[in-house]
Structure 1
Amino acid sequence: QRLQDVLTPSSLVLVKELIEEEYSKKETIFANHSWSKTLELELKRKDGSSVWTEINVSLIRDSDGQIKGFLGVTRDISERKRAETEIIRLASVIEQASESIAITDTRGKIIYVNPFFEKTSGYNKEELLGKNFCTLISQDIKEARIHKLWETISHGNLWKGTLVNKRRDGTTYHENVIVFPIRNKIGKVINYAAIKRDITEEVKAAEALRQSERKYSALVENSLTGIYISNKEGRILYANCKFAEIFGYSKQELIGIPKSRLIHPEFRKMVEDIRYKRLAGTNVPLSYEVAGVKKTGEMIWVKMRNTCICYNGEQAILGNVVEITKRRKMEEALRRSESELKMLYSKLLMAQEEERKRIAWELHDGLGQSLTAIKFGIENVLELLEKKKSTMATRTLQNMVLMVQNAIDEVRKTSMGLRPSMLDDLGIVATISWLCREFNKIHTDIQIERKINLRETEIPEILKTNIFRVIQEALNNIAKHSKANYVSIELEQNDREIKLLIKDNGKGFDVNKTRLKGNLRGGFGLASMKERTKFLKGDFHIESVINKGTTIVCTWPLH
Structure 2
Amino acid sequence: MLLGTALLILGALVGYWVYDERGRVEALERDRLQVQARVIDENLGRQLEGVNNALAGVRNDYSLSNRKSIGPATSRHLKTLADAMPGVRTMSILDAEGTVLASSRDELIGMNFSAREYFKVPRERLDPATLYVSPPFKTVLGVFLINGTRVATGSRGEFAGIVSAALDPEYFNVLLQSVLYAPDMWVSIAHGDGMGFLYMPLNERAAGIDLAKPGSFFSRHRDSGQAATVMTGTGYATGEELMMAIRTIRPANVPMDKPLVVGVGRDIAAIYAPWRKDALMDGGLYGAIALTAILGLTFSQRRQRKYDRLEADYETDRRESAERQERALRASEEKYRSIYDNLQDLYVETDLGGTILEISPQIETLSGGQYRREDLLGRSSKDFYGDPERRTAFLRTLMLTGTIRDFESTFVNRDGTAVPCSISATIRPDAEGRPGKIVSMVRDVTARKRAELSLRESEERLRAIFEGARDGILVTDVRSGKFLTGNPAICRVLGYTLQEIVRVGVSDIHPKQDLAHVIEEFKRLQRGESQVVADFPVIRKDGSTFHADIQLAPIRLGMTDCALSIVRDITERRHAVEALRASEAQFRLLAEENLAGVVIIQDGRFKYVNPARARMLGYSPEEMLGASSALEFVADEDRPLVQEHLRRRQHGEAPSMRYTFRGRRKDGSLAYFEVFGSRIDFDGRIAVMSTVLDVTERKLSEQELQRSAAELRTAYRRLAQVQDAERRAITKELHDQVGQNLSALNLNLHYIDRELSDAERARLKGRLDDSLVLLEETVARVRSVMGNLHPPMLDEFGLFATLRWLAHEVTHRSGIESELVGTDPGQRLPAEIESTLMRIAQEALMNAVKYSKARRITLALAVTERQVRLEIADDGVGFDLDRQVLCDVNPTWGLMTMRERAAAVGGLVHVASSPGAGSRVVAEIPRGPA
User: Could you state the TM-score of these two structures normalised by the residue count of structure 2?
Assistant: 0.27
Larger radius of gyration: 1
TM-score, normalised by the number of residues in structure 1: 0.43
